[in-house]
A = this chain, B = another copy of it.
């Protein structure tokens, strides 16, 4: 039952950037509606910021924050009036120290901090468990999309096989523009920068670092696995050209950057790489800056959740959902179910078996194809289809393989790179979906 006490639940906020300002704006504007709906009256009593004079997002004025602002995060955590701590600072420190202090003081913590949860999730969840309080982090991965609740509650009894996610809006925007409007990679990245979807230095997005941190969090919530961002195999989208996307289209595929976590015989695989997805796959139609995570469960079958993976207000909405859960638990003297992590064996990428797409630039002279094909054969990588695209004196060869071992594919690539006739190894994409039966067109 909802807490129907008139006593407000006093919230201390750490950080007031885009998400923090949206959270203040949302709670201040909706406080009566939220109380009417949930019986919980929220009151943000303290807001710790670095620079109290700075202009805030979401039209939050200095007057609106008057009497609530401080530069001392520890004072917010220690304030006996503060019952719930919301951490929206981002980055590892001082967030980690403040979150630990709040948990040690018996205060539930809500965080949207991807870096923190990807690096120290296991440690912080154990600290919460010991203290007997909630550490809720729905907003730390894929913004407004409710993955933690889906996996820890709705699918609590389910044997999860695999999650496949589009969890980086920037790269999905870039790939969507390349796919739908024929833009080149550099042009699409430039446009994403001018729209504010990509940073001036886009490395964290296009090289897959952001997605890898999210993959680590996904492995935690899907398998209770203590996986950190640096455990995740990571490839970005910089090698993908317009011709790769055109080839994928002709075969009925879309190219997406995916984060995949799967569990098999107790070993967990966590990886980020571009992939070819059949156009009928629900993830193939996730366009622009949207995020989605596709879940495969033993009994539930296929599920997908889709929504805004970033942005102040969507992320603030997810934070608010967690704050209301923590407030309900406080009034009921209970907590969310335990989410203790355990170390697992990480399955290296070399043990993966899948189909591959590979493009090569070669010198266009007789015998090249035979030489290339024999390298595939030597490494037991069977070619399902091949196409040659002429480029004057050079040619591009594109291959799709039958299911092969990653280690064999990498050995093939290493040997191909050493051939005189191979100018450049282009793009490697893993193909997601069932291999069609022999005789059917790819």
Interface residues in chain A, defined as those with a beta carbon under 8 Å from any beta carbon in chain B: 1-2, 22, 26-27, 30, 33-34, 37-39, 129, 132, 138, 144-146, 149-150, 153-159, 224, 280, 282, 284-287, 290, 292, 297, 299-308, 311, 313-314, 316-318, 320-321, 323-325, 328, 332-335, 337-338
Return the contact of A1 from the options B22, B27, B318, B338 (Cβ within 8 A).
Answer: B338
Q: Which residues of B contact A138 (CB under 8 A)?
A: 154
Q: Which residues of B contact A308 (CB under 8 A)?
A: 300-303
**Nearest residue, chain B, Cβ from A158:** B317
Q: Is the CB of B334 within 8 A of A144?
A: no
Q: Could you list 23 A-B pairs, sorted by A, with CB under 8 Å?
A: A22-B299, A26-B299, A27-B157, A37-B157, A138-B154, A146-B149, A153-B153, A153-B321, A156-B321, A157-B321, A157-B323, A282-B285, A285-B285, A292-B304, A299-B314, A299-B317, A301-B307, A301-B311, A301-B313, A303-B307, A304-B305, A304-B306, A333-B334
Shortest CB-to-CB span from A180 to chain B, Å, is: 10
Q: Which residues of B contact A324 (CB under 8 A)?
A: 156-157
Q: Is the CB of B317 within 8 A of A297?
A: yes
Q: Which residues of B contact A316 (CB under 8 A)?
A: 299
Shortest CB-to-CB span from A164 to chain B, Å, is: 13
Q: Which residues of B contact A153 (CB under 8 A)?
A: 146, 149, 153, 321, 325
Cα–Cα, bound, A111→B171 (Å): 42
**Nearest residue, chain B, Cβ from A305:** B305
Q: Which residues of B contact A155 (CB under 8 A)?
A: 146, 317, 321
Known: A149-B153, A305-B305; 16 extra A-B contacts, CB below 8 A, are A1-B132, A1-B338, A2-B337, A22-B299, A26-B157, A30-B159, A144-B303, A146-B149, A149-B149, A149-B154, A153-B153, A285-B285, A290-B302, A301-B311, A302-B307, A334-B334
**Nearest residue, chain B, Cβ from A287:** B280
**Nearest residue, chain B, Cβ from A320:** B157
Cα–Cα, bound, A128→B3 (Å): 16
Q: Is the CB of A282 within 8 A of B306?
A: yes
Q: Is the CB of B314 within 8 A of A37?
A: no
Shortest CB-to-CB span from A252 to chain B, Å, is: 13
Shortest CB-to-CB span from A328 to chain B, Å, is: 6
Q: Is the CB of A307 within 8 A of B304?
A: yes
Q: Which residues of B contact A27 (CB under 8 A)?
A: 157
Q: Which residues of B contact A301 (CB under 8 A)?
A: 144, 307-308, 311, 313-314
Q: Which residues of B contact A314 (CB under 8 A)?
A: 299-301
Cα–Cα, bound, A212→B64 (Å): 45
**Nearest residue, chain B, Cβ from A294:** B306
Shortest CB-to-CB span from A13 to chain B, Å, is: 15
Q: Which residues of B contact A38 (CB under 8 A)?
A: 156-157, 337
**Nearest residue, chain B, Cβ from A286:** B282
Cα–Cα, bound, A299→B321 (Å): 11
Q: Which residues of B contact A286 (CB under 8 A)?
A: 282
Q: Which residues of B contact A159 (CB under 8 A)?
A: 30, 33
Cα–Cα, bound, A301→B39 (Å): 24
**Nearest residue, chain B, Cβ from A39:** B338
